[in-house]
Structure 1
Amino acid sequence: MNIKEILTATIDFFKKHKIPDSRLDAEVLLAHLLDIERIQLYVKYDLPLEPQEVAAYRELVRKRAERVPVAYLTGEKEFMSLPLVVNKNVLIPRPETELLVEYVIDYCQDKGIDGPNIVDVGTGSGAIAVSLAHYLPAARVLGIDLSAEALAVARLNIDKLGYTGRVKVIKGNLLKPLLKMEKDNVDIIVSNPPYIPRNELGNLSPEVRQEPWMALDGGKDGLDYYRQLIKQAKAVLVRGGIIVLEIAYNQGKSVVALFDDDWEDIKVKKDYAGSERLITAALV
């Protein structure tokens, strides 16, 4: 069996199983297995596969048909043009979250902030933390997560991308580790917290339901973590420091209402699709 034949059969198989992006998934998995770029699949269309390669590919295809996300099968996901390690212990980085990183980069450049102290709450794979360190060469970033398994993945990415000197991670619940240390020198807090209302978790796609529920469950109304984080942030941010939060498309007004008079310049930012995606605010 050659590349063309196995791709054609897999695409048909995925379509029968109603797998979204059937062609893309078939190509990504085969390119990953063969350790080549996707474009090379078409250059080598007639290349015969070894029996062990066919068997290994069929195993990946079987798992994808069971709705295991492609990123978990390949063990990698690109974010902000950086190759990240991912596994079942972390939320898969989304393209929409790149907006949060881009906002902070632009903010620092516009304000002439050199070497900001940034805290990434709920760091997961470390995607946001390492991206900010990459694009803000003098930034110092601390990632916090309650999951030891997620922190292990974050450390892998920090090491892999060479940011062990400027990105650190610690275990903790939201900002509680900093509150205990009485740290109050943070310039920027960023977070993509769990924000899905608990009663909506069952409506998620089969792929998303395989991601860590700890990273998805936002409590009864989806706002549990925003309430805690906004309150805690006041004790660790410098005056004029900012908080940047990812939100769901329908949460703008609800999250804005959680900020009291200690905050100013509260704004809702939309993503490239026109959906509400970020909340930003500065501490008075």
Structure 2
Amino acid sequence: MQNPAQTEDPPWTILSILKWTTSYLNSHDIESPRASAEILLAHVLGLKRIDLYIRYDQPLIQDELSRLKTAIRRRMRREPVAYIVGEREFWSLSMIVTPDVLIPRPETECLVEAALKLLAPPKSADAGAGPPLRVLELGTGSGAVALALAAELRTGLIAASDRSEKALGVAVQNARRHGLDRNLLFFSGDWFSCLRPGMTPFHMILSNPPYIPSAEIDRLQAEVSRYEPRGALDGGADGLGPIRTIIGQAPDYLRPGGHLLLEIGHDQSADIERIVELSGAYAECAFIRDYGGHLRVASIRRK
């Protein structure tokens, strides 16, 4: 196949290199080749994706072609595009991502949507009479969920934890990037290990915990199994280890009537219902579907 970096006549324009890159990625079974080509090229040129089509006849200089080749090589090794360009959009916020954090996914926006519906203030005349809103996110990673909530709520306390200090570093960068660092409290800890029973309880606790069974991780897409942090994926032998821990301990930190929201695997709802029932601490458990129709969020209300 022709090497674009060595071609001088005719010159490579944005449109011609975009077509070539798309075809090349597609021929090697790279998922979403057109989108990958657009994102990589826009990143190399410092443009928005729409600008590629506005400036379609702009020629690329040698340095730009060389940097694009490097990015393509990384993608050919199945490295996720988000790690190559160093960011991913979530809830209309551009999030810094590194291999220390999971790449935010569209289905996780369902977790944010569910939380905002439950946290919406009542429309009664004394709506402001209650205690300040307190929300806790466990396993925040890049901070995507916590930042989305902070951007929408703007009041109360949103605390977010992660056992990985490197992940927390990314979350703090993202908070500063969007001017939300004053709205959030980040702390390092493994689930509830840094909290004490008897503290002021939270109105809501939410998490996108690891829920992939250990034996299944190596069978996932190479982009996931090779590159994303295993500790953020591995839910133990049956995928339910962290979920059991959170469901079991959350009542000590939730207000009566408060909600626990969990992102879950599409086939885990029946098991989670049993775990909730056995705990005896909750009044109800419901499930919310994602954009693909899969049961994705468990909404559990404390008695």
TM over 0.5: yes
Match of 1:159 among 176, 192, 206: 176
Shift of 1:266: 1.1
Shift of 1:193: 0.2
Q: Which has the larger radius of gyration?
A: 2
SS at match of 2:195: helix
Match of 2:269 among 248, 252, 277: 252
Shift of 1:239: 1.2
1:118 match: 135
2:199 match: 183
Match of 1:269 among 284, 288, 302: 288
Within 5 A, what are the aligned runs for 1:36-55? 36-55=47-66
2:151 match: 134
Greater mean alpha carbon deviation, residues 160-169 or residues 66-75: 160-169
SS at match of 2:185: strand
TM-score by length of structure 2 reads: 0.90
Gaps of 5+ in 2: 1-11
Match of 2:25 among 10, 14, 37: 14
Match of 1:71 among 79, 82, 100: 82
The answer to whether the 8 A contact 1:132-1:139 is kept is no
Shift of 1:163: 1.4
2:8 match: none
Give 4+ residue runs of structure 1 displaced > 6 Å after superposition. Answer: none
Shift of 1:51: 0.6
The CA distance in 1 between the partners of 2:202 and 2:159, in whole Å, is: 10
Is 1:235 equivalent to 2:218 in the alignment?
no
Residue deviations 1:3-53 (CA, integer Å, cap 9, x gap): 122112211210121101111100111111111121211221211111101
Residue deviations 1:205-254 (CA, integer Å, cap 9, x gap): 01111100000000000000011111111111111111000001000010
Shift of 1:183: 2.3
Within 5 A, what are the aligned runs for 1:151-230? 151-179=168-196, 182-209=198-225, 210-230=227-247
The answer to whether the 8 A contact 1:30-1:57 is kept is yes
2:6 match: none
Which residue type is aligned with residue 215 of structure 2?
A: N
1:91 match: 102
The CA distance in 2 between the partners of 1:182 and 1:74, in whole Å, is: 44
SS at match of 2:120: helix
The CA distance in 2 between the partners of 1:51 and 1:272, in whole Å, is: 42
SS at match of 2:16: helix
Gaps of 5+ in 1: none
The answer to whether the 8 A contact 1:184-1:235 is kept is no
In angstroms, what is the RMSD of aligned CA positions? 1.4
The CA distance in 2 between the partners of 1:166 and 1:134, in whole Å, is: 9
Shift of 1:182: 4.4
Residue deviations 1:83-121 (CA, integer Å, cap 9, x gap): 111111100001000011011111111646764211110
Which residue type is aligned with residue 207 of structure 1?
A: E
Shift of 1:158: 0.8
Question: What fraction of aligned residue pairs are identical, expressed as a percent?
Answer: 37
Which residue type is aligned with residue 287 of structure 2?
A: V
TM-score by length of structure 1 reads: 0.96
The answer to whether the 8 A contact 1:78-1:84 is kept is yes
The CA distance in 2 between the partners of 1:139 and 1:46, in whole Å, is: 50
Residue deviations 1:105-156 (CA, integer Å, cap 9, x gap): 1111164676421111000000000100111121311111011110000000
Q: How many residues align?
A: 283
Greater mean alpha carbon deviation, residues 107-116 or residues 240-249: 107-116
The CA distance in 1 between the partners of 2:286 and 2:62, in whole Å, is: 57
